[in-house]
Structure 1
Amino acid sequence: MNTRLTRALSSVAFALAVLCGLAFLGTAVTHMLDDGAVCVETGFWANASLPDDLPIGAGVEASSSATRLCQDSPSVGQRAADLGGQLPWLLFASLALLLFHRLLKAVLLQGPFTDAVAQRLSVLGWFVAAGTPLAGLVVGWSQSWLSASMAPVIGSGPTVTGPQALVLAGLAAVIMGKIMREGVRMREDLEGTI
């Protein structure tokens, strides 16, 4: 096992987790204090032919194709919903990288084939498998609500966005964690009989 590479990877994962956490906090604070316009992309009218009078709320500007809506003086709820399109993935990335860092620390301290490593791999896998659709749902719901607050006729409902293939990677990590845990138990049983 190359401990130098594992130690470097652990340090990089921790640094990236801290950077994602700082980006999460910085984005939240600066965006809530900003008094600029809030915009949202919507595909609701993408294939429709619309008259000149679009059914949009007061103070909302629509692009010529009506797929981009902007509110010049957004409410606190609209600004928070706009943040809901950015923050969940930053928080998810930060927490996943922290869990990965903890996994690598356990590998460095105890070796790769231990119960602690298997358990941390399973925890990371469950977090990724459950957190990916949850973050995607929060982003989709936020964008849907923001669109509906600017153009009340939009009724497409929330969607799940983001890289949903990560669910498979998370489930693979859970399975690998279970396999490793069984391997550790078998090794302990073998050592106990010798």
Structure 2
Amino acid sequence: MGALVKVSIIYYSATGHVAEIAREMAESATKAGADVRLRRVGELAPQAAVETRPERAFDAEMTADVRVAKADDVATADDLIWADAVLMGSPTRFGNVSAQLKHFLDTLGGAWQRGLLADKVYSGFTSTGTLHGGHESTLLALATTFHHFGGIVVAPGYTHPAKFTDGNPYGTSHHDAGGAQPVDDVTRAAARIQAERVVGVARSIGAARAAA
């Protein structure tokens, strides 16, 4: 199996679909031999605004164990510093990452300035309300941040036959039809392939560093 790889999966989810993808990735990374942290970033929207959206009920159900009371279930800079590889996910907001995830990224300046986010493997995933409403641009926006970190951006590419079914070489993406479309087998397969690839690349990099 090789050296143990530490993987942080950090996400924001509004309707539960990004959370489902994150869980699929966490399970796959664990099976691939990684030590995994699954972390959700904090909510910024007022509770009253959240409660007006009925699709939030599914998200609350999917993320109940992450919401519950342990402070270490909420993402911090340490989760990136600890990791060899980071999988990061967000729903799309006007073709970009959500305000909640962006806020979290904006808190990482100190760790970035000290060089603590560099030389790690990074990869992104997303879920969108419309079929062509930001799948690629959201993932590319995440990659832009990873480049600023000095990260090693690992996309799934077309490295597996199943990738020709989901058709997205940039990262896992799901069309949730405004919260109404469940995560399907195509998306789950894409999530597994991406997580396994990230673990494999991170393990190879770690082995090369150890040999050097």
Larger radius of gyration: 1
Same fold, TM-score > 0.5, yes or no:
no
Bigger strand share = 2
- Structure 2-normalised TM-score? 0.27
Bigger helix share = 1
- Structure 1-normalised TM-score? 0.29
